[in-house]
Structure 1
Amino acid sequence: MRLIAAQFLCLLTLIVPNFSYGQNAPVVVELFSSQGCSSCPPADEYLVELAQKRDIIALGWHVDYWDYIGWEDIFAHPAFTERQKAYARALNERMIYTPQFIVNGTESSVAGQRAEVAALIQKYEQLAPGADLSIRRMGTSYEITLQNAYYSGPYDVHLVSVSPLETVEIYRGENAGRRIDYANIVTEWHNLGRWDGLWPTTFETGVLGPGRYAVLVQYEDNGEIIIADWVN
C-alpha cells in the first residue's frame, strides 16, 4: 500500500504545472547586442547580472549588422537580426539599434538604460502568467504542455538554446582591446509549433544538445510572451 501511494505521489509531481494562475512566472529579458558596438558593453554587463537571477530568463541575441565596421561578432546570426526587425514592426519602431532590451516581448528600453529595464522587470514580475505551462523530461527529450490560456492565440512556441557564459577578447573594431563577458548567449532558436490557446497541447523538444534551453510562449508576430520557463 505504501509503495502504491508513493508511485501515485510521483505521478502527481510530474503533471503539476510549473506555473499557473496566481503564481509569478519568470520575466523574459532579451538583449540585442553586438561585439562591434561600443555602446553595448554596459548592457552586456547588466545581462550577466540578470542571468544570475532565478526569476528572470535573460537572453542575449547577437546581431550581425555591425560586423562590417571592423569586427565580426562570433555569436551573431542573421536570424537574430530578423527577430529584432520583427520586434521593430510589432512595436512600431522605425529602426533597429544596439543595445536594445525588450521585456516580455512588449516593451523596449532605448539604449538599454538599467533603471528603465529594472522598472520594466518590476512591472512584469507582479503579473500572473497568461497560461499554464508544464515541462516533463522524457529520456533525452522533454514534453512541454500548455493549457488554460487567458486569451486565445495563436501563440508561437519557441525553444531557445543558450551558452551560459563566455568571455571574448576583441582585437578590432570599436571595442578593440576589450575583454568582455557575455551571458546566456543564444546559440539556436527553433519554433516548436503554434498553439491556439483553446485546448491543452503538448510539444516535444526532441533530443537536446549541450547548453541550457528555454521555452517562450509568444503571441504571433513577436507579440507578448505570456509564459516562459527554463526547460533544463
Structure 2
Amino acid sequence: MRAVLSAALFACTTLPAAADPVVVELFTSQGCSACPPADEMLGELADRDDVIALSLHVDYWDWIGWADTFAEPAYVDRQRAYAAVAGSSVVYTPHFVVGGVDQVAGPSGMALAELVMKHADRTGDVLRPASDGTRAVTAGPSDASGVLILATYRPTSSVHILRGENAGHDMTYHNIVESWSVLQEWDGSETTVSVPEPEDGLAQAVLAQELVDGKPGPIVGALRLD
C-alpha cells in the first residue's frame, strides 16, 4: 500500500522540464526491516528524469547477522557528517537527504515529495556537459564553491537475504552507489573536469556540493551522464 501511495504522490510532483535534477540520497541497509518501503520509493524516484536518486548502503546493521553486500564505511561517514551539520550525533535507517540539506526519517512519501518540489527551485545551470563533446563536465561560473563529486552506481540489483531482519526476502535495490569520489575541489570559477568511463553496467552522475566546515552541504548542481 505504501508503494502505491508514494507512486501516486510522485506522479503528481513532476518538476518543470527546465529544472536541474534534484539529488535524493537514501541511507539504507539490507538488514533493516524498516527500509524496504523507502527502497521502493527510491526506485520510483530513480525512474524520473528530474531526480537523481542514489542509494548508499551502510554497515551498522551487519551485527544482526547479515552483512549488507553493498555497504561501505565511507557512506556511514557521509551520513554522520550530514547528521553533524544538522546538529545531531544520531544516524538511522532509512534516512533520506534531499539536495544535501533537508532530511527525512523513515519512508514518508508526503514529506519526501514536498522536499523534492522545494529543491526544484534551488537548482541552476551549474553543471553541464563539456562543449567539446568529450566525456567531461564543465562547472560554473557560480557564487557557490565546494567540491565536484563523481557518483558511480548500479541501476538495479536483486539480493536474496538469508539472515537478519529481512531474512528470506528477495529485495530489489535501485541506483546503488558503488563508488563515491571527489573529482576536484572547486572555487566557483568555470572549470572543466574529465570523467573516466564507468565499467559495463554502471551509470554515473556528477554533483557540485558546497561544504559546511568541511562537511557536506547544499548540492548546487547535478548532471546525469549517459
Give TM-score, length-normalised by structure 2: 0.86
Q: Distance in 2 between matches of 1:146 and 1:83?
A: 23
| Inter-CA distance 185–152: structure 2 relative to 1 (3 Å threshold) | closer
| Alpha-carbon contact 2:31-2:67 (below 8 Å) kept | yes
Q: Distance in 2 between matches of 1:182 and 1:41?
A: 9
* Residue 41 (structure 1) shift: 0.5
Structure with greater Cα Rg: 1
Q: Distance in 1 between matches of 2:73 and 2:198?
A: 22
Structure 2 counterpart SS, 1:180: strand
Deviations along 1:80-134, one digit per CA (max 9) or x if unpaired, are: 11111111111212200000000000000011311110110111123342x5322
| Alpha-carbon contact 1:34-1:98 (below 8 Å) kept | yes
Asked if 1:202 corresponds to 2:192, the answer is yes
Counterparts of 1:30-179 in structure 2 under 5 Å?
Answer: 30-129=25-124, 131-136=125-130, 142-149=135-142, 151-153=143-145, 155-179=146-170
Q: Distance in 2 between matches of 1:68 and 1:128?
A: 39
* Residue 180 (structure 1) shift: 1.1
Q: Distance in 1 between matches of 2:31 and 2:166?
A: 6
* Residue 23 (structure 1) shift: 4.1
Deviations along 1:130-172, one digit per CA (max 9) or x if unpaired, are: x532213978x721111121x242x111000110011111111
Residue type of the alignment partner of 1:35: Q
| Inter-CA distance 183–123: structure 2 relative to 1 (3 Å threshold) | same
| Inter-CA distance 48–163: structure 2 relative to 1 (3 Å threshold) | same
| Alpha-carbon contact 1:23-1:128 (below 8 Å) kept | no
Deviations along 1:168-187, one digit per CA (max 9) or x if unpaired, are: 11111000111111000000
| Alpha-carbon contact 2:136-2:195 (below 8 Å) kept | yes
* Corresponding residue of 1:4: none
Structure 1 gaps of 5+ residues are: 1-21
Q: Distance in 2 between matches of 1:182 and 1:68?
A: 21
| Alpha-carbon contact 2:154-2:177 (below 8 Å) kept | yes
Task: Work out the number of aligned pairs and report it.
Answer: 206
| Alpha-carbon contact 1:84-1:96 (below 8 Å) kept | yes
Give TM-score, length-normalised by structure 1: 0.84
* Corresponding residue of 2:216: 222
Give structure 1 regions of 4+ aligned residues with deviation exceeding 6 angstroms. none
Structure 2 gaps of 5+ residues are: 1-16
